[in-house]
Structure 1
């Protein structure tokens, strides 16, 4: 784990981030029952092309918290140091302080190490939302059919199409249009910053079980509330027909 931080610091000091920009959002981090930082001067930093992380100014660290350098990162010419964040009796060493452009005077604290992140007064999960990404949920009358191993698993003329920037369309199906005899509950849970906490079902056909083939949201985020209770099958793992046309997996 420490090696991944070192490699990241070396990459960012030598090559710079994929992209970075100031965000006007208020960003706060709850750590051990206190806000370890609180700022309107955070940056979205894309360490890779897919989604950003929040980097916060060193000056935003609260008086109730302590941020200290632990060691210089080799190969950065003093441009990055591993750091330790402490609040009370809890601490994390999953942090980097930057002292060279373009991330000078910013600190990266591993997202999962913070108990809860907030954008303004809204909690965020998994990673920060990409400000260039959006979700549209559109009701459609185009029929959607889902099958696997020649067995029809669901069929509806009232699907919801979820269109998420840079991802393929997902088809959310009303629960009354699903053949429940093929589904069993899974213990798997995942979290999406755009849609919320997802739960899963396994699918069994022809005596073969397919793990976590279906997901659903009981309490999605406000921007995705239309899909609450609907079921979505992995396009990549089942056969789907939309308006009679079979999609490629």
Structure 2
């Protein structure tokens, strides 16, 4: 597990971005701010969305957008970048983080990556964001369906639903959200796991136990999803990749 004082992952990231460039990047017109130690570290309408990998972007902040409360300092140059990237340190009052990269390479010149989790809170305009920024090229559609969905594992039926919700998310496989009364609850026990999705909100989980064998976090649900995903509130979703699913009588590949 990477600790907050370990920057080895940032060094590898900077080397890759300087040599190969990001997957893609683009300016965003959104106002981007983040708090550190009760003060805004930066406030900008000139941030960039940078895809460090194909899956989702991160905000990179111009060096000129840091506020007077913040001290942004370069520390050591990152080997293998030919001066194109430095590790940095961001400080406000008595709180600081060294999980910072300051770029001077052509396509990311004068942009700063601050580890998303190191900031106390991020905002797009006046809306708090969690986990990472949304991808502007990604969307979610939630569709009512009368195609029945059956879920089974190890030959045991776990759910049969005649009125599922189909959630279609760009670049991901379809997920089936089932009414909670269609699930065989005797096989489920609550998990302590929580995850957060910027498109759907905070997810909670259930484990599934069959004949004494426990399958961790096989089912998830959203008590209070985001406004855009409100229809799935309280519905149950099984990991397609880990169970057997039939849609309208046709079995899906895991």
- Scaled to the shorter chain, the TM-score interval is over 0.9
The 2-side partners of 1:100 and 1:175 are apart by: 52
Q: Distance in 2 between matches of 1:205 and 1:20?
A: 46
2-structure distance, mates of 1:10, 1:209: 42
Q: In 2, distance between residues paired with 1:39 and 1:162?
A: 34
Aligned 1:76-91 pairs, distance under 5 A? 76-91=81-96
Using the TM superposition, give the Cα deviation of residue 77 of structure 1 relative to its aligned residue in structure 2, in angstroms: 2.2
Provide the residue aligned with 1:222 in structure 2. 227
Alignment-derived partner of residue 19 in structure 1: 24
| Alignment match of 1:103 (pick from 100, 108, 111) | 108
2:40 to 35, 55, 58: 35
- Aligned counterpart, 1:237: 242
Task: Say whether 1:60 aligns with 2:60.
Answer: no
* 1:166 maps to 2:163: no
Q: Is the 8 A contact 1:126 1:193 kept in 2?
A: yes
**1:143 aligned onto 2:148:** yes
Deviation digits for residues 135-159 of structure 1, max 9, x if unmatched?
Answer: 0000111101111111111111110
Root mean square deviation of aligned Cα: 1.0
- Looking at structure 2, the residues matched to 206 and 247 of structure 1 have their Cα atoms a distance apart, in angstroms, of 24
- Give the CA deviation at 1:7: 1.5
User: How far apart, CA to CA, are the structure 2 residues paired with 1:100 and 1:240?
Assistant: 48
String of CA shifts for 1:62-94, please: whole Å, max 9, x gaps: 111110011111222222111000111100000
> How many residues are treated as equivalent by the alignment?
249
Confirm or deny that 1:195 pairs with 2:232. no
Alpha-carbon distance in structure 2 between the residues aligned to 1:228 and 1:33: 33
Distance in 2 of aligned mates of 1:210 and 1:11: 37
Match for residue 184 of structure 1 among 183, 189, 193: 189
Quote the offset at 1:207 in angstroms.
2.1
Shift of 1:13: 1.5
- Contact preservation (8 Å) 1:149, 1:206: no
- What TM-score results when the alignment is normalised by the length of structure 2? 0.96
Q: Distance in 2 between matches of 1:177 and 1:225?
A: 19
TM-score, with structure 1 as normaliser: 0.97
SS class of match (2:46): coil
CA contact (8 A) 1:81 1:98 kept: yes
Whole-angstrom CA distance in 2 between matches of 1:192 and 1:40: 24
Asked if structure 2 preserves the Cα contact closer than 8 Å seen for 1:139 and 1:160, the reply is: yes
- SS of the residue corresponding to residue 102 of structure 1 reads helix
